Amino acid sequence: MAKLNAFSFAEPKTTYLLVLGVAQDAGYPQMGCTKICCTQAWSKPKIRRNVVALALVDPVHKKWWLFEATPDIKQQLQDFSGQTHQQYPYLPEGIFITHAHIGHYTGLMEFGREAMNTNGLKVYVLPQMKAFLEQNGPWSQLVKLKNINLISLKVDEPLSIENNSVTAFTVPHRDEYSETAGFKITTATKKYLFIPDIDKWSKWNKNIIDQVKQVDIALLDATFYTNTELGNRPIAEVPHPLVSETEALFEKEDQQTKRKLYFIHFNHTNPLMWDMVTQKQLLGRGFNFAQQGQLLF
């Protein structure tokens, strides 16, 4: 059974990340799943997990930014408010979105006139993602009614937000509707790498080992643990780096480098989501896995 992760909140004095979700796009448990991986979560709500999202939190200026607008965004904003003891505005200063797959942008619907009816909420996206939202309903209505203010990011160019910066870069993925971004987040004290989705590390024009060595914490795609998890369709239809493949890449690296890796974006079938034995084995090999509610600083 999955370990129940409870994190006490002693807020750091410098900018930090707060993990608001760790699951693949469809969440945990996943709709229609009757396997052991999900039956425990259906019966015990406390072990359910939200879709991948992060909060970048600046305690000095009392501002925060959200990474990804997931289907669980309503719960995640509530969770953020509760965990930070209502010290911050309910809405973030802005939202950074990686790409146009359902787990990463569909939460934007909650800012429309049927729900919060926000005014000019900043949404940071790469150009193809911006065009997708502008040209397709219902997202185009959010733009037309000025519920959201789309801001185009430039690849590999840092964007300053208070004393921090966010740099978007592209990674190879199933880009049916938009390009796929990863983000490098730089604060006064830490550098973070966030790549929740990529097809395979070998397809990228950058070396993932070198990229990890340049940061303090790297949150990396861990959708599947092995290639035998999907019984109803070929896993090649949804390519991602297997956890075992990523581990193999870093096998000869030192402990300091391995400890920088925090696996995230778990499919419901991935035992890192729900099996304590698998979790302990991963930790024993020198790696980490992201946990909902966790502070990273």
Contacts of 2 (CB under 8 A, 6+ apart): 40, 41, 47, 273, 274, 275, 276
Q: Residue 244: is its pLDDT beyond 70?
A: yes
Count of the separate structural domains present in the chain: 1
Residue 174, class by beta-carbon neighbours within 10 Å (0-12 exposed, 13-18 middle, 19+ buried)?
Answer: middle
Q: Residue 8: is its pLDDT beyond 90?
A: no
- Average of per-residue pLDDT across 43-70: 97
Residue 49 maps to a domain? yes
Contacts of 236 (CB under 8 A, 6+ apart): none
pLDDT value at position 228? Answer: 82
Residue 9 maps to a domain? no
Residue 64 maps to a domain? yes
Q: Residue 274: is its pLDDT beyond 60?
A: yes
Is there a contact between 219 and 193 (Cβ–Cβ < 8 Å)? yes
Sheet containing 121-125: order of strands:
148-152, 121-125, 94-96, 63-67, 53-58, 16-21, 295-296
Sign of CA dihedral 63, 66, 72, 73: positive
| Angle at CA of residue 168, ends 62 and 273, nearest 5° | 75
Model confidence at 3, pLDDT cuts 50, 70, 90, reads: very low
Model confidence at 2, pLDDT cuts 50, 70, 90, reads: very low
pLDDT tens for each residue of 127-142: 999 999 999 999 999 9
Residue 7 maps to a domain? no
| Angle at CA of residue 164, ends 142 and 166, nearest 5° | 55
Average pLDDT of the chain is 95
Residue 143 maps to a domain? yes
Is there a contact between 104 and 67 (Cβ–Cβ < 8 Å)? no
Q: Residue 237: is its pLDDT beyond 90?
A: no
Instruction: Report the CATH number at residue 242.
Output: 3.60.15.10
pTM of the model: 0.95
pLDDT value at position 5? Answer: 55
- Average of per-residue pLDDT across 202-217: 98
- Average of per-residue pLDDT across 63-74: 98
- Average of per-residue pLDDT across 244-255: 97
Sheet containing 261-264: order of strands:
159-161, 164-170, 181-186, 191-195, 217-221, 261-264, 288-289
Is there a contact between 169 and 87 (Cβ–Cβ < 8 Å)? no
pLDDT tens for each residue of 89-124: 999 999 999 999 999 999 999 999 999 999 999 999
Q: Residue 229: is its pLDDT beyond 80?
A: no
Residue 283 maps to a domain? yes
Residue 60 maps to a domain? yes
Q: Give the whole-number percent of the chain exceeding pLDDT 90.
A: 92
By residue range, what is the domain housing residue 184? 16-296
pLDDT value at position 1? Answer: 37
Tokens (6 digits) for 34: 């009757």
Residue 101 maps to a domain? yes
**C-alpha 164: how far from chain center:** 19
Distance CA 244, CA 96 (A): 29
Q: How far is CA 176 from CA 26, 141, 166, in A?
A: 18, 21, 25
- Average of per-residue pLDDT across 220-225: 96
Q: How far is CA 136 from CA 14, 109, 129, 132, 246, in A?
A: 39, 13, 11, 6, 36
Q: Residue 269: is its pLDDT beyond 60?
A: yes
Distance CA 165, CA 17 (A): 13
Query: Nearest Cα to 269, choosing from 243, 287, 295?
Result: 243
